[in-house]
A and B are shown apart, each in its own frame.
Chain A
């Protein structure tokens, strides 16, 4: 097949291209707008297959909380459409564009689902994958397959849709997704504590999540990183910031914020942000503003929340790291010095003590060429991973090697 860049206008054409690639054993780099193409192992592909020309929302039923879009539809376009109906994407996708050198809002919905990168609200509402109701995709045989549907509940057959979420285009090319959406919350309140040490900050976030107040955002940001928040009152002190968000109808959000403030008196919550300032704060978190243009490698680590500070503390004794804890400590965005391995050896060795996994989101190509970008799996799990790849993409043409060598 022709080398270079392919962006078919129809699903049929895309399926044809994949079948042709399978016949000719041409490895394809699969992507949407390519904002996340630098994430993954360094691999040579024969051609690029983009879904960027598959654009459009084919169904949106606000009262059924469902939206169906072609995979190349920009997330920004979908968010705009939802906002016009007072709705939103519940999983609040992190916009990796800015930290990877792109402008904001360029990601496609297919890319968001294929990488399953969920934002702060994941603790309350669930992940991107949790909101995926159905997909149409093209597997490595060039077959167009469907799974799930457009309704909330569906256990008809295996759940291929969610299995494709987070597979980084290595199993099938997503061409259309059906997602669950939710009403946008009208009032947002954010309680902030300043200057707490990491273990205390994470403890506060855990306490907040253990209340019945439906806390929808819990972050703790190291002092140095906190300087980069847009809101001057928050960035100026240069102290760590611990933030707890509640979203609801106005009276409820205010009531819950006041109850929580009482409960957390011992930690001296010093500031309560109103809706507008809350949105500004959480937009900074969503676009990882504090990690933009730092020239340092960036890791994304998922682990048990209370172990998060222990990991960071242990690492900090050996390398210069800075952490943003989200998901009440369960998700750590960690930047490391630009050393040869981006800190991979230390991170993975320390993580093994606690359990969890680390993905290298940003690094120089030299680093990506020599280290495992995705968490290495133990042998039985890797064997199953290989079998699954084989089941979807038997000749190995879809983003081969991007996640794991030979897969």
Chain B
């Protein structure tokens, strides 16, 4: 982060800014172009706010054809392009470069069609994640992936990072719910991939595009699967004296053949911060708290929660409490969903996104505690226990450059630990600029080389979102 370097800006491009603006105005007169410094300032960073860079200019197109014209122009003029949705990336995926045009799709936010008999919707990429569900909720349907930022983040951004969410244990992540996209390649070519049916023909290009962090093309339209909402859902709280017991309980539930719709874990610091912020009703005298949610009819929910309670008894729970009302359920989730905000009230935090095998939870938490003590930081841990995605939130002071440098080192050590334990660097936030240099911890040169060959197949000149995902050294845009 603090020592982070980006590809060297091309002074020839930077010096041509006024001319580029003039040419684009002529080429795509209806596109909103933001060239003044104050306007560009809005786009200088994303949700990883430690890094800022003013882009050359910002373009907000309204149609796929405009996107195509802009990309073709940039391709011919060798101008870098940083695609952007709502800018909620936690890994710096939308960080501009000084000589880049930020292509922001937020104006393309329409629902194009809803086909309930076939359970699909076609939307523009700039629509928010919740916007899709809102459009179909009246009919009892929903779009399953639900990242915490769903009110703000765009489905195009979700495609770029293959976003998950609290309910992905049961429903899966973005890649499991996208049937088709309209993609504009860097040279302006418009390609339709997949459609309104399952499993696109030919190579699974969707698999590559989803999670490619805006490096292969710009997605302008998306066809998503819609699911029917469950009859009902209810969470219960399970408090334990140790993370070991909580982890054991999660394993016990799964071994009994129960896949809850959500299985969230919080450690003592996280519980305290959230409870003080929201008064969600969390117990304060436990080391680990599980929020377990199941779905179905009232009877089915009762039966499942009863079974889970029986299993939990084997792990000596200090607290077992089933939500008694929809209001209480909402409060329980409000506490969990407010976790980042609550911690943010206390301090700046550096949010990690590693993944570990569930069986390594206690070892991971012990070592994370030790690593953070070594660097003299407090840490709170939030864990999607069902899928192994661990979010240690390291508390630090971002105004202190020394702390910023130290917290990066601390975070890197934690992510290396996750890989050593059999996990990975990032479960849902993406590599971006943040974890770029750690890629070699998880991958060999051949692994990374293969990925770079794919990048080059889509974008031979490396103009789309360069300086992200791959270690800068040895990277084609270096």
Tell whether B401 is near chain A: CB-to-CB under 8 Å: no
- Between B164, B192, B428, B457, the greatest number of chain A beta carbons within 10 A of the residue's beta carbon is seen for B457
| Residue numbers in B under 8 Å from A65 (CB-CB) | 254
- Candidates B120, B169, B196, B430; contact of A155 at CB < 8 Å: B430
Interface pair A156/B198, CB less than 8 Å apart? no
- Candidates A123, A306, A355, A374; contact of B202 at CB < 8 Å: A374
Q: In the assembled complex, how far is the CB of residue A351 from the closest CB belonging to chain B, in whole angstroms?
A: 11
- Candidates A126, A158, A210; contact of B228 at CB < 8 Å: A210
Taking CB atoms and an 8 Å cut-off, the chain A residues in 115-172 that contact chain B are: 116, 118, 122-123, 126-127, 129-130, 139, 143-147, 149-163, 165-167, 171
| Residue numbers in A under 8 Å from B454 (CB-CB) | 158, 160, 163, 388, 391
Taking CB atoms and an 8 Å cut-off, the chain B residues in 169-185 that contact chain A are: 169, 172-173, 175-176, 185
| Residue numbers in A under 8 Å from B426 (CB-CB) | 154-156
Interface pair B457/A252, CB less than 8 Å apart? no
- Bound together, the chains give a CA A183 to CA B258 distance in angstroms of 7
- Bound together, the chains give a CA A182 to CA B387 distance in angstroms of 13
Interface pair A151/B423, CB less than 8 Å apart? yes
Tell whether A303 is near chain B: CB-to-CB under 8 Å: yes
Interface pair B388/A64, CB less than 8 Å apart? yes
Tell whether A238 is near chain B: CB-to-CB under 8 Å: no
Interface pair A63/B254, CB less than 8 Å apart? yes
Tell whether A403 is near chain B: CB-to-CB under 8 Å: yes
Interface pair B299/A255, CB less than 8 Å apart? yes
| Residue numbers in B under 8 Å from A252 (CB-CB) | 296, 300, 303
Tell whether A232 is near chain B: CB-to-CB under 8 Å: no
| Residue numbers in B under 8 Å from A385 (CB-CB) | 202-203, 205
Tell whether A206 is near chain B: CB-to-CB under 8 Å: yes
Interface pair A130/B176, CB less than 8 Å apart? yes
Tell whether B135 is near chain A: CB-to-CB under 8 Å: no
Please report the total number of B residues contacting A with Cβ < 8 Å.
Answer: 94
- Candidates B119, B231, B443; contact of A209 at CB < 8 Å: B119
Tell whether B189 is near chain A: CB-to-CB under 8 Å: yes
Tell whether B201 is near chain A: CB-to-CB under 8 Å: yes
Interface pair A163/B451, CB less than 8 Å apart? no
- Bound together, the chains give a CA A64 to CA B253 distance in angstroms of 11
Interface pair A157/B451, CB less than 8 Å apart? yes
Interface pair B425/A156, CB less than 8 Å apart? yes
Taking CB atoms and an 8 Å cut-off, the chain B residues in 187-235 that contact chain A are: 189-193, 195-205, 207-208, 210-212, 228-231
- Bound together, the chains give a CA A390 to CA B435 distance in angstroms of 28
| Residue numbers in A under 8 Å from B443 (CB-CB) | 146, 156-157
- Bound together, the chains give a CA A146 to CA B197 distance in angstroms of 30
Interface pair B447/A166, CB less than 8 Å apart? no
- Bound together, the chains give a CA A157 to CA B204 distance in angstroms of 16
Tell whether A249 is near chain B: CB-to-CB under 8 Å: yes
- Bound together, the chains give a CA A203 to CA B160 distance in angstroms of 35
Interface pair A155/B429, CB less than 8 Å apart? yes
- Between B195, B199, B204, B304, the greatest number of chain A beta carbons within 10 A of the residue's beta carbon is seen for B199
- Between B185, B259, B451, the greatest number of chain A beta carbons within 10 A of the residue's beta carbon is seen for B451
| Residue numbers in A under 8 Å from B446 (CB-CB) | 143-145
* Interface-located stretch among B264-272, B342-350, B352-360, B405-413: B352-360
| Residue numbers in A under 8 Å from B423 (CB-CB) | 149, 151
- Bound together, the chains give a CA A149 to CA B199 distance in angstroms of 23
- Bound together, the chains give a CA A143 to CA B428 distance in angstroms of 28
- Bound together, the chains give a CA A377 to CA B173 distance in angstroms of 28
Tell whether B450 is near chain A: CB-to-CB under 8 Å: yes
Tell whether B109 is near chain A: CB-to-CB under 8 Å: no
- Bound together, the chains give a CA A387 to CA B455 distance in angstroms of 10
Interface pair B388/A151, CB less than 8 Å apart? yes
Taking CB atoms and an 8 Å cut-off, the chain A residues in 167-211 that contact chain B are: 167, 171, 182-186, 206, 209-211
Tell whether B389 is near chain A: CB-to-CB under 8 Å: yes
Q: In the assembled complex, how far is the CB of residue A3 from the closest CB belonging to chain B, in whole angstroms?
A: 28
- Bound together, the chains give a CA A123 to CA B202 distance in angstroms of 20
Tell whether A327 is near chain B: CB-to-CB under 8 Å: yes
Per-position 1/0 for B273-314, Cβ under 8 A of A: 000000000000000000000001101100110000000000
- Candidates B118, B230, B258, B300; contact of A255 at CB < 8 Å: B300
Q: In the assembled complex, how far is the CB of residue A303 from the closest CB belonging to chain B, in whole angstroms?
A: 5
Q: In the assembled complex, how far is the CB of residue B260 from the closest CB belonging to chain A, in whole angstroms?
A: 12
- Bound together, the chains give a CA A20 to CA B357 distance in angstroms of 37
- Given contact pairs A156-B431, A158-B451, A355-B196, A184 touches B230 in the complex (Cβ within 8 A): no
- Given contact pairs A381-B202, A388-B203, A152 touches B447 in the complex (Cβ within 8 A): no
| Residue numbers in B under 8 Å from A184 (CB-CB) | 257
| Residue numbers in B under 8 Å from A212 (CB-CB) | 140, 228-231
- Candidates B193, B255, B435; contact of A62 at CB < 8 Å: B255
- Bound together, the chains give a CA A331 to CA B118 distance in angstroms of 12
Q: In the assembled complex, how far is the CB of residue A178 from the closest CB belonging to chain B, in whole angstroms?
A: 10
- Bound together, the chains give a CA A17 to CA B377 distance in angstroms of 51
| Residue numbers in A under 8 Å from B130 (CB-CB) | none
- Candidates A166, A211, A375, A390; contact of B457 at CB < 8 Å: A390
- Between A127, A186, A388, the greatest number of chain B beta carbons within 10 A of the residue's beta carbon is seen for A388
| Residue numbers in B under 8 Å from A116 (CB-CB) | 199, 204
Q: In the assembled complex, how far is the CB of residue B293 from the closest CB belonging to chain A, in whole angstroms?
A: 15
Q: 6 more A-B contacts (CB under 8 A) besides A171-B203, A385-B203? A: A63-B254, A63-B255, A149-B422, A155-B211, A212-B230, A251-B299
28 cross-chain CB contacts under 8 A: A62-B255, A63-B252, A64-B251, A126-B172, A127-B198, A149-B424, A151-B355, A151-B387, A151-B422, A153-B427, A154-B426, A156-B439, A157-B448, A158-B212, A161-B207, A183-B254, A209-B228, A212-B231, A251-B300, A304-B195, A330-B118, A355-B195, A375-B201, A377-B201, A380-B189, A380-B191, A384-B458, A391-B454
Q: Which 9 A-B pairs have the closest CB atoms?
A: A162-B207, A183-B257, A357-B201, A152-B387, A63-B251, A153-B427, A387-B457, A391-B453, A375-B201
